[in-house]
Structure 1
Amino acid sequence: MKQLLVFVLFATLFCWLMFSPVYKHVVLLRQSLLQQEVDYMLEIGASGRYGYIDAAMIGDSRSRLSGYGFKPEILEYEVTTTSGIPGTDPASPLERGDGLRLVIHYPYDGLMDIDRLIGVDPPSGTARMAAAGMKMSEYVP
């Protein structure tokens, strides 16, 4: 019985040590891809040509991120401005100097569940990673 317990504990620890670096790299990669997408969308959306981030841009972003393995239907986009005007309306783009803020949320999707093997509680099922950024609009009417 003692040998069986030692085997189970050793096997659990071995599995955690073997797979822990892999899923942590996946979390880091997802986080960096989200941040890269936020930076790209803000660069385009706050440029002198647009001054907004509309639904078409968000749709293009979803398809780009789905190419990296993200599930497009669970990506959440939040576009806000410093002036309170909606930043998603192409009919009224933000004027130069107004801040355009974008936040993209994505769930951890059970990546940290293996931490239970060593007694660490994973994030809750509703926990989400997020990438955010803000850029001043350069649009001049």
Structure 2
Amino acid sequence: MKQLLVFVLFAGMFCWLMFSPIYKHVLVIRQALLQQEANYLLEIGASGRFGYIDGAMLAESRARLAQHGFQAAALEYEVSSTTGVSADDASAPVPRGAGIRLVIRYPYDRLLDIDRLIGVEPPPEEARLAAGGMKMSEFVP
């Protein structure tokens, strides 16, 4: 009986040691892809040509991230400006000197549940990975 208990405990620890680095790697890659996409959207949206990040840009972003394995419906985007004006309205671009903020959130998708094998509680179901930034608008009317 003691040997069976040792085997079960060892098997759980062995599974965690083998697969945890893979899940952590997936988590790091997801975070990097989200940050790369946020930087790209900010670079395009805050350029002198646009001055906004509208729904069409966000739809293209969802499609790009879906190509990397993200679920498009689970992506959450938050676009705002430092002046309080809408930063997602193409008819009223954010003027030069005002900042455009973007935050992209995505759920962990139970990615860290394997950590339960060693007694580490995974993030709650409502927790999200987040990436974002702010860039000053270069749009001149």
TM-score bin (small chain): over 0.9
The residue aligned with 1:113 is 113
Stretches of structure 1 that go unaligned for 5 or more consecutive residues are: none
What is the aligned length? Answer: 141
- 1:99 Cα shift? 0.2
Q: What does residue range 46-61 of structure 1 map to in structure 2 within 5 Å?
A: 46-61=46-61
- 1:118 Cα shift? 0.5
Partner Cα distance (2:80, 2:55) in 1 = 14
The residue aligned with 1:131 is 131
The residue aligned with 1:86 is 86
Amino acid at match of 1:114: I
Identity of aligned residues (%): 67
Partner Cα distance (2:14, 2:74) in 1 = 33
- 1:43 Cα shift? 0.2
The residue aligned with 2:64 is 64
Partner Cα distance (1:47, 1:132) in 2 = 17
Amino acid at match of 1:20: S
What RMSD in Å do the two structures reach over aligned CA positions? 0.3
| Residues 81-121 of structure 1: CA deviation (Å, up to 9, x unaligned) | 00000000000001100000000000000000000001110
Amino acid at match of 2:115: D
Partner Cα distance (1:64, 1:113) in 2 = 27
Instruction: After the TM superposition, list the runs of 4 or more consecutive aligned residues in structure 1 that deviate by more than 3 angstroms.
Output: none
| Residues 39-61 of structure 1: CA deviation (Å, up to 9, x unaligned) | 00000000000000000000000
- 1:128 Cα shift? 0.3
The residue aligned with 1:103 is 103
